[in-house]
A and B are shown apart, each in its own frame.
Chain A
Amino acid sequence: MNELRRSFLKLTGGATALAVVTMAGLLKTGQALAAWNKAGFESKAVADVLKSLGATDAAESKDIVITAPDIAENGAVVPIAVTSRIPNTQQISVVAEKNPFPLAATFDVGGGGEGYVSTRIKMGQTSNVWAVVKAGGKYYVAKKEVKITVGGCG
């Protein structure tokens, strides 16, 4: 099965495959762009990011799980997944605390959608990664440290 999937993608080429998916209406890029948080993405500090999201009083939540490497294998593409088990999750943002522009991504979760997103972000140094979740009109947050190291020595 998996080999079949890989062969299919090799055959069509990643970009083509994505175009097919987009045309089929599975990814609505226009919708995401409509909610562009300009101030947030241009903020240089976490406090400003939170302000732009309206999340300055976000409460720590154990119902948010961040799946990310403890030590990044490649700082240029760090895989981050966020699962929110909070009912009525509406939005999930990924924030890398020490990045020059900390807000890496914001996802709007459609009505009734599963609170799960997965992305890859670039990180230049060891930092906490925050998941900021909007659910039922309130904000919640969880953090996980991702270490960026020079490597070597085993």
Chain B
Amino acid sequence: MSITRREFLQMLALAAAYGAPLGGNRARAAAAASNLYDLPKAGGNVTFLHFTDCHAQLLPVYFREPDVNIGLHAARGRPPHLVGEALLKHFRIAPGSALAHAYTHIDFEHAARTYGKVGGFAHLAALVKRVRAQRRGALLLDGGDTWQGSATSLWTRGQDMIDASKLLGVDIMTGHWEFTYGAARVQEVIAKDFAGRIEFLAQNVKTLDFGDPVFKSHVIREMNGVPVAIIGQAFPYTPIANPRHFVPEWTFGVQEEALQKVVEETRKKGVQAVVLLSHNGMDVDLKLASRVSGIDAILGGHTHDAVPEPVAVRNRGGTTLVTNAGSNGKFLAVLDLDVRGGGVKGHRYRLLPVFSNLIEPDAEMADTIRRMRAPYERKLSEKLAVTEGLLYRRGNFTGTIDQMILDALMEVKGAEMAFSPGFRWGTTILPGEPITVEHVMDQTAVTYPHTTVTAMTGEAIKNILEDVCDNLFNPDPYYQQGGDMVRVGGMRYRVDPTRKIGGRISGMTLNGKPIEPGRTYKVASWAPVAEGASGEPVWEVVARYLRSKKVLRPVTPNRPALTGVTGNPGLSG
């Protein structure tokens, strides 16, 4: 029941003309929303457009931002570890406004029905064109996680996104989930599809044998007479967070020293601005910015943080701006740099939400998407069940959609417990909407979708939870992988994120009884990273489960009891 662009604008006009039919704050905020895309004149002579982690969402979607994104130690209460009202307060965003809806989970269902869907490549393309018309020579950077996250991208091995990226006019990209199609596929796309069109950069991917570079580390481009360097940084923990066997001959890592060398090399060649297109995740980028000098801005992704303003980080060479541009095609970032006298003298940054109802879609892109989807449309649109509750994934510990997957795994596989990976991608479904095959694929489309049922000891379960929890809450960002906590079905537990590995998880119970370290439990799971794993694809398990239900009652996510983090600004309510 979302309103159309025309209705929306009419409402705004009415609100402006007759005082507040939408309610005081609401009217002002809505009026402001209509001006979202009237960007001021370029704040400099160099512009980078940046989107990241679109996860193959070609069409507009709903995407609910997290209500739990806990930051600890130096990261406590600082971007990106702010949610809900704490985020609005920090960035001085009016509650109830379109921007408040874009950046937070607050009142999600109601706001989503008011403001409509977000993203979509046809809308993104129109916005890119509009900004490019104002800012000549602007470069469009894609932070990666572009080829994965939808049915059509999986079924075409990323081809739909590769073609759409070319049409969108992406100049430069780096990667992460791209690698899960295998090393050969990535190299094939770079050699054939991207040749002369899109540069794929990654300074931190080397061969295991001699440490030779696999990809170009950087490119130097001239924008309005200003030479600038763009360096690529792929996700450093790809072979750990995803199956190693997809890239068996490559090694990743943050590789600070190699990065510093590339920065110095480009500076020697006379570039006047250096930008890192990064898939490190924001916490890793913030640490990196404090230790590597000579980078003017890090345009970041991976952790899916929609951070309205850059964080300025001091280092021995000066200051580096660190950004993170959200996910699912929901945002387009515009960074203007004022480069004079051989260096960056000023900047202006906008993280623009892509409200699909406010942007006239680009006809050529819309048509291309329609054609690409046509062979799959029937399969994609199969309605499996209707949801009564809001279904979403994002959050440190649980999401309702993960709970649905866990419930499906336990019921279909006859397991007493289930694990589901703490992925941060996956779209949101509003109450009353049908859950389609496409929706299920939005949550599960990976190249290693097998479900497994394993007999695990209580001790092994505890060790896995501790291990994953440390990947999320280790005090040193370089030991974090940027995903969320593994979702757990059946078993209850307590977690104190402030403790060290081995001491965070406690109070594990199943059906009210304590988990025994020596007893074995039947655990269903999916997305195994081991080579040679097999099992029914998870989307089939979930589809079967939903077909049998027809109506999905609202689910209560199995959120662990949290201790040690009361009052944390990364925790809502």
* Residues of chain A whose beta carbon lies under 8 Å from any beta carbon of chain B: 2, 5-6, 67, 69-74, 79, 126, 145, 147, 149-154
Chain B residue nearest in CB terms to A154: B241
Asked if A71 and B481 sit within 8 Å, CB to CB, the answer is yes
Asked if B257 and A67 sit within 8 Å, CB to CB, the answer is yes
B484 at the interface (CB under 8 A from A): yes
B392: min CB distance to chain A, Å: 18
Contacts of A72 in B (CB 8 A): 240
User: In terms of DSSP, what is the predominant structure of the interface of chain B?
Assistant: loop
A133: min CB distance to chain B, Å: 19
Contacts of A145 in B (CB 8 A): 476, 479
Contacts of A73 in B (CB 8 A): 239-240, 244, 251-253
Chain A proximity mask over B217-259: 1 for CB below 8 Å, otherwise 0? 0000000000000000001011111101000000111100100
B188 at the interface (CB under 8 A from A): no
A151 to B483, CA, bound (A): 11
Contact residues of B between 390 and 445, Cβ < 8 Å to A:
421-423
Contacts of B257 in A (CB 8 A): 67
Chain B residue nearest in CB terms to A126: B501
Contacts of B115 in A (CB 8 A): none
Asked if A70 and B254 sit within 8 Å, CB to CB, the answer is yes
Asked if A6 and B209 sit within 8 Å, CB to CB, the answer is yes
Q: Indicate which residue in A6, A147, A153, A154 contacts B210 across the interface (CB closer than 8 Å).
A: A6
Asked if B421 and A154 sit within 8 Å, CB to CB, the answer is yes
CB contact under 8 A between A154 and B478, given known A73-B240, A149-B467: no
B118: min CB distance to chain A, Å: 23
Q: Indicate which residue in B177, B463, B479 contacts A154 across the interface (CB closer than 8 Å).
A: B177
A145 to B474, CA, bound (A): 12
Q: Indicate which residue in A5, A69, A126, A152 contacts B253 across the interface (CB closer than 8 Å).
A: A69
Contacts of A150 in B (CB 8 A): 463-464, 467-468
Chain B residue nearest in CB terms to A65: B257
A149 to B467, CA, bound (A): 6
New contact pairs (19) apart from A145-B479, A153-B468, CB-CB < 8 Å:
A2-B212, A6-B210, A70-B476, A71-B237, A73-B239, A73-B251, A73-B253, A74-B244, A79-B251, A147-B474, A149-B471, A149-B481, A151-B240, A152-B241, A152-B528, A153-B422, A153-B471, A154-B421, A154-B482
A70 to B476, CA, bound (A): 10
B135 at the interface (CB under 8 A from A): no
* Residues of chain B whose beta carbon lies under 8 Å from any beta carbon of chain A: 176-177, 209-210, 212, 235, 237-242, 244, 251-254, 257, 421-423, 463-464, 467-468, 470-471, 474, 476, 478-479, 481-484, 486, 501, 527-529
B411: min CB distance to chain A, Å: 23
Chain A residue nearest in CB terms to B238: A154
Between-chain CB contacts (< 8 Å), 10 pairs: A70-B253, A73-B239, A150-B463, A150-B464, A150-B467, A152-B486, A153-B423, A153-B484, A154-B176, A154-B235
Chain A residue nearest in CB terms to B213: A2
A67 to B478, CA, bound (A): 14
A152 to B252, CA, bound (A): 16
B153: min CB distance to chain A, Å: 16
Contacts of B235 in A (CB 8 A): 154
A79 to B251, CA, bound (A): 10
A28 to B15, CA, bound (A): 85
A147: min CB distance to chain B, Å: 5
A150 to B421, CA, bound (A): 13
A27: min CB distance to chain B, Å: 18
Contacts of B468 in A (CB 8 A): 150, 152-153
Asked if B212 and A149 sit within 8 Å, CB to CB, the answer is no
A21: min CB distance to chain B, Å: 15
Contacts of B483 in A (CB 8 A): 153-154
B147: min CB distance to chain A, Å: 14
Asked if A154 and B423 sit within 8 Å, CB to CB, the answer is yes
Chain A residue nearest in CB terms to B212: A2
A74 to B238, CA, bound (A): 12
B317: min CB distance to chain A, Å: 19
A75: min CB distance to chain B, Å: 10
Contacts of B527 in A (CB 8 A): 152
A98 to B461, CA, bound (A): 22
A13: min CB distance to chain B, Å: 14
Contacts of B251 in A (CB 8 A): 73, 79
Chain B residue nearest in CB terms to A147: B479
Asked if B210 and A149 sit within 8 Å, CB to CB, the answer is no
Asked if A153 and B486 sit within 8 Å, CB to CB, the answer is yes
A65: min CB distance to chain B, Å: 9
Q: Which of B241, B254, B421, B527 has the most CB of A within 10 A?
A: B241
A78: min CB distance to chain B, Å: 11
Contacts of B481 in A (CB 8 A): 71, 149, 153-154
Asked if B479 and A70 sit within 8 Å, CB to CB, the answer is yes
Contacts of A79 in B (CB 8 A): 251
Contacts of B421 in A (CB 8 A): 152-154
B244: min CB distance to chain A, Å: 7
A25: min CB distance to chain B, Å: 23
Q: Which of A2, A145, A154 has the most CB of B within 10 A?
A: A154
Chain A residue nearest in CB terms to B485: A153
Contacts of B240 in A (CB 8 A): 71-73, 149, 151
A124: min CB distance to chain B, Å: 13
Contacts of B209 in A (CB 8 A): 6
Contacts of A153 in B (CB 8 A): 241, 421-423, 468, 471, 481, 483-484, 486
A69 to B376, CA, bound (A): 43
A146: min CB distance to chain B, Å: 10
Q: Indicate which residue in A69, A126, A147, A151 contacts B529 across the interface (CB closer than 8 Å).
A: A151
